[in-house]
Structure 1
């Protein structure tokens, strides 16, 4: 491992302006289940009460938003988005408490992940750019 680091020191730029980065999402049966895009969509639905308005705010087609919601709802025992039928006040959509709980959990997970990336960036810089 030490020889490997010495070789890498010779090929990395001396500026040391490197960062360890990564993407984070939760998978279910090897398919994307919960990540930044779905969290944002759910938050917009929560704010607007509408899948259509949420999709517009994200510059996403209604069909794509609808498919994301259907996938989310099919991957859980409790639906994340509950549809309200039309009528005098029109239809709409609301988030279940399960969705809100999952958003909070995912945000906490993201903070831990960001901390991990920060630690690994510092370790990388220490391994390759710290002078003694």
Structure 2
């Protein structure tokens, strides 16, 4: 997906999608969902993204409210410890957003290179 050789040179399209007046899906929420899927923990996902735990909960709550269904299921701690997993809706959201992001970047190579040329340093 990257059109650059190194992360420092990377230039990517990271879309924010608005569906109606109440649903906003963007890179922050999707990155949080991806990390929850990887770590199986909201706290660990928040730490890895360097955002406060409360912010992570607010992002998840905003998605849950907007979509009318949960994107993450949680289990309480205890002897085996708690955890979090993506619901089928949460997994589908990550997949669809990822496909859109990949396609936008693949289809906009010329425009992204033109933007890179505008900010290139001598």
TM over 0.5: same fold? Answer: yes
* Length-normalised TM-score, structure 1: 0.67
- Distance (whole Å) between structure 2 residues aligned to residue 80 and residue 99 of structure 1: 4
Compared CA separation, residues 52 and 24, structure 1 to 2 (3 A):
same
Give every structure 1 segment of 4 or more consecutive aligned residues whose post-TM-superposition deviation is greater than 4 Å.
Answer: 119-123
Q: Please give the residue correspondences for 1:1-132 in structure 2 after superposition, counting only pairs within 5 Å.
A: 22-30=13-21, 33-120=24-111
Higher radius of gyration, 1 or 2: 1
Greater relative CO (CA pairs within 8 A, separation 6+): 1
Aligned-partner SS, 2:108: helix
Pairs aligned (count): 105
Q: TM-score, normalised by structure 2?
A: 0.71
On the 8 A contact 2:40/2:85 being kept in 1, the answer is yes
Residues 90-118 of structure 1: per-residue CA shift (max 9 Å, x gap): 22211011111111111111122113322
Structure 2 unmatched runs, 5+: 1-11, 115-122
Give the gaps of 5 or more residues in structure 1.
Answer: 1-20, 124-132
What's the RMSD between the two structures over aligned residues?
Answer: 2.6
